[in-house]
Structure 1
Amino acid sequence: MMAVAELVARERPAASNKYSIGIHPVPERIQGFKDGVRLVDTTNALIVRETHLVPIYYIPREDVAMDYFSRTDFRTFCPFKGNASHWALTLGDHQSSPAAWSYETPFLEAEPVKNHIAFYGDVFDKWVRGEEEEKYLSPRMLLAEPENLVDWLIRGAWAAKNHVELTAQLGNRLVQTGIPVARLNVALRQLHPLVAGRSYIWRRKSNEVEEFSISHTSLNGPGYLNSPMKLVSEGLGGIRQRLDVDEENFEFSIMAELKAQGATDYVALPLPFSDGIIHNLTLTSDAPEGFSTSDLGQIFEALPLISRMYEVHKVKSDSKALLETYLGKSAGNKVLNGLVKRGDGETIQAVIYFCDLSDSTALTEKLGQQKYLNHLNKFFDASAVSVAENGGDVLKFIGDAILAIFPIKDTSKEEIARACQQAAKAARSTITALAEIKHEAPMHCTIGLHHGEVMYGNVGSEDRLDFTVIGSATNETARIGEICKEIGHAILLSDDVATHIPEDVRSVGAFALKGVAEKRELFCFETANEG
């Protein structure tokens, strides 16, 4: 049997810088079999050799056992050859769809294959050309190995799914190109409330990428202020330091650390993004001669492409971080995945959690604006962490209150009980956390919990939307929080939630909720502080 590589080599057109399609007759007899049945028998086959694709046989329809094939509604479209109709194969118990395609009204360049049939790779278990059996090749891309770093960045780097994959591929590609890189570090600024950036470090020995967070405070520390990265980020050019010299010649502390690890050469280069911000790429060599001028020249010429590849992934990661920060993880991911129009969303079952800081007006007057904001942020920290740790999702901060949900995946009693219990645990955890905070004024809040059906999605004006929960259950939860203040309880649960709580809860009576026709029985925890 002829190997795939041999067939491809035999049928591959001569190297050319132009994209082309070549259609040629096959002089030998072609036969194709499936489960012993001969589906193809021809001496008039054509082979299509298209740039970057494996060679594909096209068989005259009269030389195909068409009784086994049935036309389908499926179509594909090719800008070079035209629109392709497709057929399914039924052979005994075997069914395959799509199994074959044909250009019935091809473009002029592909006119010779009109009404010929081509096949997908799983159709045949035996394919014979002349007297020689071949492996039938299913249509796929056949890209030549990139010739240099720039060639790879254009044709290969796009396949990386994230920063980590791109960094690993870049490190390996540099080595394959002959550049003696032992360590590669890409440091990128990030739009994130908790971190100023991330660093991706690849090492040749492990062939693994480690990811590190760069804190906002570290940018004001000596480690960064006295680093080559700071100077490169300011647009002052690239910095190089031979490391096989006396350490007294080192201007930066990182040089001694890298020399101790066996490095001989170091270079820090700018990665300018389209917004004008300059990020960093540093390379370390352990080769005795370090980097050559040719090595650094290849990298320097490729920097604009390297920058763009990283910028693509940075835009995606920044978008995800910002959406999760401002909308919450669940809502942020839904928006990122395409729910962006007014009305987009879904009806879900959830336990709604509404937590309101007590005495906020008096606190503002007592503490002053700045101290009150610090007070408010500590309140938000305590309540948001409690929600997240118990499986909930904070949707929004409303003035001095928090709206969160605990989604219910299905309507089983067990799943509803799980969500109710997690919400109750989050509520009690919030009360406990607030009691432990030391501040100029004590922190107290009220929390209403209710279970119901809500619309989870986009509402607002045409061009200014909010991804939140809407529905009577949400309104009732806020009303329950108001009853907390009226009767002096920190946490109140609707009967829909209380029935799923195994702990001791007791009724505090039935109350009229604004906008709700019937009174609703509410419950509290037995413990005095409810935390």
Structure 2
Amino acid sequence: MSAPPNKDSVTTRSDSDVVHWLTNGTRDERFLDNIFAELCVRLQRAGIPVKRATLHILIYHPQWLGARIMWADGMREAELARVDYDVRGRSEYIGSPANEIFDGAAEVRENLERDPALGRKHALYDGMRAQGLTDYVARPLYHTLGKRHIVTFATDRPGGFDDAHIAALSKLLPALALVSEIRVKNRLARTLLETYVGSHAGDLILAGATRRGSGTTVRAAIMICDLRDFTRISDNWPRDDVIDLLNDYFDAISEPIARHGGEILKFMGDGLLAIFPLSQPSACTNLLRAVAEARRAMVALNQRNSDTGRAPMNYGVGLHVGDVMYGNIGSRTRLDFTVIGPAVNMASRLEALTKQLGRTVLLSRAFADFVEGDFELERVGEYPVRGFSDPIELFAYHG
């Protein structure tokens, strides 16, 4: 009669299966939160009594320092929460396990069954005790070049994790580090492209559209916006004030563009270039709606600036529609994913005419013909436009 299997040997075989799945069975899963949730379920099946687990990832998004992925027993999907840059000054972080790990600790282990007066003091531990958890362990998760992230596990098993459980969890960390780094860097690449070239252009670049001269012809509504008197402002204002002003201005103009389906292709000093492809229903109407929202946001911003003694910001917007070449232009080693063509030049000329004609928003007859709804457009007349042989019929929009 054979002896019953040793508990530790069963755990070892089972956690080896988990590591094998982590390294070989996750290739087709793009999202790290899905992988983490499945990992926790597989750990439970392997006899490791995980009741709660978190993964803390630094992502350095323009708005977010990182993200926290949290899984608890019974959850079908992990909960994903963004973490902003100010978190390190708040009580939820100060003295927390994350604080200790990012400060250099190799492990944070807390026996949640003992008298709280004898343990670490933090609201996180009090919350876990209230949930009936008995043991908690946090470890750094090392990515390339020593970059630290954090993974934590907690259990409600009486007596907490035993040595075999901790050994199994330790064993899977290198594989989890590799799998998570791939997803984090994929997300970082996408974030960087979305941040600097826009989401649509970013998707094309990730799909391989990186050859110089590659591109396509797109029919689009085009918007060019430029801030007035920026040279005077930048010469006379403190540097930090100028940066804050530009950021507030771009927020006011840009956020409505994104909400209404447009894409900002570039910021040009104090100006921006955006397009709304005509493949979208009502692209020109959506662009004009974005302009209307942006104008209201600028009125509110100028009021706030007036309250603090700053002069109002004036700007001009040129709107046109036509075919543009959308693709890679530049040197052999430095490319710009942008649009060029006569239609872009026309939008730029219209923006310049806003100063001459004393209007904030000018649009061409070609653009106006696409606008639907009850927008009140004022016919300004026909004007010569530099670089174009025939005068252009112009309209003003006052929002």
TM-score by structure 1 length? Answer: 0.69
Question: Aligned residue for 2:79?
Answer: 210
Residue-by-residue CA offset, 1:281-333 (whole Å, 9 max, x unaligned): 00010111211101110111221111111001000011111100011111111
The question of 1:327 aligning with 2:184 is answered no
Residue-by-residue CA offset, 1:162-200 (whole Å, 9 max, x unaligned): 111111111011111110000110000002100000111
For residue 327 of structure 1, what is the amino acid of its counterpart?
Answer: V
Whole-Å separation in 1 of the counterparts to 2:15 and 2:169: 15
The question of 1:431 aligning with 2:303 is answered no
Alignment match of 2:339 (pick from 445, 450, 469): 469
Whole-Å separation in 1 of the counterparts to 2:102 and 2:47: 28
Whole-Å separation in 1 of the counterparts to 2:74 and 2:257: 42
Whole-Å separation in 2 of the counterparts to 1:425 and 1:304: 51
Kept in 2: contact 1:456–1:470 (CA 8 A): yes
Question: Aligned residue for 2:269?
Answer: 399
Residues 43-82 of structure 1: pairs in structure 2 closer than 5 A: none
Q: CA deviation at 1:203?
A: 1.1
Residue-by-residue CA offset, 1:59-98 (whole Å, 9 max, x unaligned): xxxxxxxxxxxxxxxxxxxxxxxxxxxxxxxxxxxxxxxx
Larger deviation, residues 495-504 vs 196-205: 495-504
Whole-Å separation in 2 of the counterparts to 1:420 and 1:373: 31
**Structure holding more strand per residue:** 1
Count of residues in correspondence between the two structures: 378
For residue 435 of structure 1, what is the amino acid of its counterpart?
Answer: V
Residues 77-96 of structure 1: pairs in structure 2 closer than 5 A: none
Question: Aligned residue for 2:279?
Answer: 409
Alignment match of 1:513 (pick from 362, 382, 385): 385
Residue-by-residue CA offset, 1:101-141 (whole Å, 9 max, x unaligned): xxxxxxxxxxxxxxxxxxxxxxxxxxxxxxxxxxxxxxxxx
Q: Could you list the runs of 5+ residues in structure 2 that have no partner in the other structure?
A: 1-12
Residues 21-40 of structure 1: pairs in structure 2 closer than 5 A: none
Q: CA deviation at 1:443?
A: 1.7
The question of 1:494 aligning with 2:364 is answered yes
RMSD over aligned CA atoms reads 1.6
Question: Aligned residue for 2:58?
Answer: 189
Structure 2 residue matching 1:230: 3-state secondary structure: helix
Whole-Å separation in 1 of the counterparts to 2:119 and 2:28: 39
Structure 2 residue matching 1:289: 3-state secondary structure: coil
Kept in 2: contact 1:146–1:152 (CA 8 A): no
For residue 455 of structure 1, what is the amino acid of its counterpart?
Answer: M
Residue-by-residue CA offset, 1:133-172 (whole Å, 9 max, x unaligned): xxxxxxxxxxx99853323323323343211111111101
Query: Higher relative contact order at CA 8 Å, sep ≥6: structure 1 or structure 2?
Result: 2
For residue 359 of structure 2, what is the amino acid of its counterpart?
Answer: H
For residue 454 of structure 1, what is the amino acid of its counterpart?
Answer: V
Question: Aligned residue for 2:214?
Answer: 344
Percent of counterpart pairs with the same letter? 34
For residue 56 of structure 2, what is the amino acid of its counterpart?
Answer: A
The question of 1:268 aligning with 2:132 is answered no
Question: Aligned residue for 2:349?
Answer: 479
Q: CA deviation at 1:490?
A: 0.2
Kept in 1: contact 2:34–2:77 (CA 8 A): no
Question: Aligned residue for 1:156?
Answer: 25
Kept in 2: contact 1:431–1:445 (CA 8 A): no
> 4+ residue runs of structure 1 moved beyond 4 angstroms?
144-147
Whole-Å separation in 2 of the counterparts to 1:407 and 1:189: 34
Structure 2 residue matching 1:457: 3-state secondary structure: strand
Kept in 2: contact 1:480–1:492 (CA 8 A): yes
Alignment match of 1:233 (pick from 95, 102, 112): 102
Whole-Å separation in 1 of the counterparts to 2:18 and 2:101: 23
The question of 1:356 aligning with 2:226 is answered yes
The 1:507/1:159 distance shift into structure 2, 3 A limit, reads closer
For residue 424 of structure 1, what is the amino acid of its counterpart?
Answer: L
Q: Could you list the runs of 5+ residues in structure 1 that have no partner in the other structure?
A: 1-143
Kept in 1: contact 2:23–2:179 (CA 8 A): no
Whole-Å separation in 2 of the counterparts to 1:483 and 1:360: 17
For residue 349 of structure 1, what is the amino acid of its counterpart?
Answer: R
TM-score by structure 2 length? Answer: 0.91
Whole-Å separation in 1 of the counterparts to 2:358 and 2:67: 47
For residue 219 of structure 1, what is the amino acid of its counterpart?
Answer: R
Structure 1 residue matching 2:65: 3-state secondary structure: strand
Kept in 2: contact 1:191–1:322 (CA 8 A): no
Whole-Å separation in 2 of the counterparts to 1:145 and 1:479: 68
Whole-Å separation in 2 of the counterparts to 1:222 and 1:441: 38
Kept in 2: contact 1:363–1:372 (CA 8 A): yes
Structure 2 residue matching 1:199: 3-state secondary structure: strand
Q: CA deviation at 1:476?
A: 0.7
Residue-by-residue CA offset, 1:265-292 (whole Å, 9 max, x unaligned): 1000110001311100000101112111
Kept in 2: contact 1:435–1:443 (CA 8 A): no
Question: Aligned residue for 2:129?
Answer: 259
Kept in 1: contact 2:15–2:46 (CA 8 A): no
Whole-Å separation in 2 of the counterparts to 1:507 and 1:159: 56
Question: Aligned residue for 1:98?
Answer: none
Residue-by-residue CA offset, 1:425-454 (whole Å, 9 max, x unaligned): 112222221111111120211000000000
Whole-Å separation in 1 of the counterparts to 2:16 and 2:116: 38
Structure 2 residue matching 1:270: 3-state secondary structure: strand
Whole-Å separation in 2 of the counterparts to 1:324 and 1:468: 13
For residue 208 of structure 2, what is the amino acid of its counterpart?
Answer: G
From the CA coordinates, give the structure whose radius of gyration is larger.
1
Whole-Å separation in 2 of the counterparts to 1:346 and 1:249: 67
Kept in 2: contact 1:508–1:521 (CA 8 A): yes
Whole-Å separation in 2 of the counterparts to 1:393 and 1:292: 54
Question: Aligned residue for 2:37?
Answer: 168
Larger deviation, residues 198-207 vs 182-191: 198-207
Residue-by-residue CA offset, 1:322-356 (whole Å, 9 max, x unaligned): 10001111111111121111122211110001111
Question: Aligned residue for 1:504?
Answer: 376
Alignment match of 2:312 (pick from 427, 434, 442): 442
Kept in 2: contact 1:353–1:477 (CA 8 A): yes
Kept in 2: contact 1:146–1:155 (CA 8 A): no
Q: CA deviation at 1:250?
A: 2.7
